[in-house]
Amino acid sequence: MKYIETEIAGLWIIEPKVLSDSRGYFMESFKQEVFNQNVGKVDFIQENESGSSRGVLRGLHYQLAPYSQAKLVRVIEGTVLDVAVDLRKGSPTFGKYMAVELSGQNKRQFYIPQGFAHGFHVLSERAVFTYKVDNPYMPSHERSLRFDDPQIGIDWQITDPENVILSEKDKTAPLLAEADINYIY
């Protein structure tokens, strides 16, 4: 696996080694020892999967400490634009974002540590998205940011704004300037 550190400290793109032949392909999608050597020790406790159709935008979601979540995300089928926003107060990249295209074809993974909001926009007809987390879902600590906050300025690659599909929670999420954040860099 190839571990690529991004310009925002803590975010990593991981490219697995894919072995292909006439039968299909094989790859190691996760190996704890190699992950720990490159990124650091993270104890993932759960893996989640979602299926979504074109135009679905999920996020930007995060959980407050002590239930903040590190995530290792990937797409099994389809294509998404995956986004992480730095919410660590005192970070030189606070409020900045990193976007990565993840697909069943490129098999890239994106590691997002605690202290970041996360979301994705489905670019294909359908996408199957999976992610590991290091803390359980805790509704009382769950928070969201507006996906279209002009202060953050994410280019979600939205071609048809009228057909973006959002949850009610995401439609009414606060802007970064009004958000409840308790992460320290």
| 131 catalytic residue (yes or no) | yes
Whether omega before 64 lies within 30 degrees of 0, making that bond cis, reads: no
Task: Tell me the per-residue pLDDT of 80-90, one tens digit each, with 9 for 90 and over.
Answer: 999 999 999 99
The reported pTM is 0.95
Specify the CATH class of 2-16+42-178 in words: mainly beta
Task: Tell me the per-residue pLDDT of 54-96, one tens digit each, with 9 for 90 and over.
Answer: 999 999 999 999 999 999 999 999 999 999 999 999 999 999 9
Q: CB–CB of 44/109 below 8 Å?
A: no
Of the residues 61, 111, 118, 121, only one is catalytic, namely 61
| 61 catalytic residue (yes or no) | yes
Of the residues 97, 131, 141, 183, only one is catalytic, namely 131
